[in-house]
Structure 1
Amino acid sequence: MIYAVTSRLAETALRVRARLGGSQDLRQRLLTDALPGRADIWVHGASVGELTSAGPVIEALARGTRVIVTANSPTGRDMVSAWGLTARLAPLDMPGALTRFLDAVQPRLQLTVESEFWPLRSRLLAERGVSQAVIGARMSQRSAGLWSRLPGVIGPMLGRISALSAQDGGSETRLRELGLPERALLPALDLKLLTPARVVPPPDDAARDRTVLAASTHEGEEAAILDGWLAARRLHPGLRLILAIRHPARADEVAGLITERGLPVIRRSETLGQDLIDAPVLLADTLGEMDRWYRQAAICLVAGSLVDKGGHTPWEPAAHRCAILHGPYVSNFSDAYATLEDAGAARSVEAAGLGAALSGLAGDAMQARRMGSAARALLTARAGDPAPLIAHLRDLANSR
Structure 2
Amino acid sequence: MTTPVPLAGYTTLRLGGPASVFLEATKSTEVIEAVRAADQAGEPLLVLGGGSNLVIGDAGFDGTVVRIATRGRGHDPLGDGLVRLTVEAGENWDDVVADAVANDLGGLEALSGIPGLVGATPVQNVGAYGVEVADLLLSVDLLDRRSGQVRQVSTAELGLGYRTSVLKGTDDAVVLRVSFALRTGGQSAPVRYAELANTLGVELGARVPAAQVRDAVLALRTGKGMVLDAEDHDTWSAGSFFTNPIVAEADLPRVLSLIHARLGPEIKVPRYPGGAGRVKLSAAWLIERAGFLRGHEAADGRVSLSHKHTLALTNRGKADTEDLLTLAREVRDGVRGAFEVDLHPEPVFVGCNL
Q: Which has the higher strand share?
A: 2
Rg larger in structure: 1
TM-score by length of 1: 0.22
Q: Which has the higher helix share?
A: 1
**Whose RCO is larger (CA < 8 A, sep 6+)?**
2
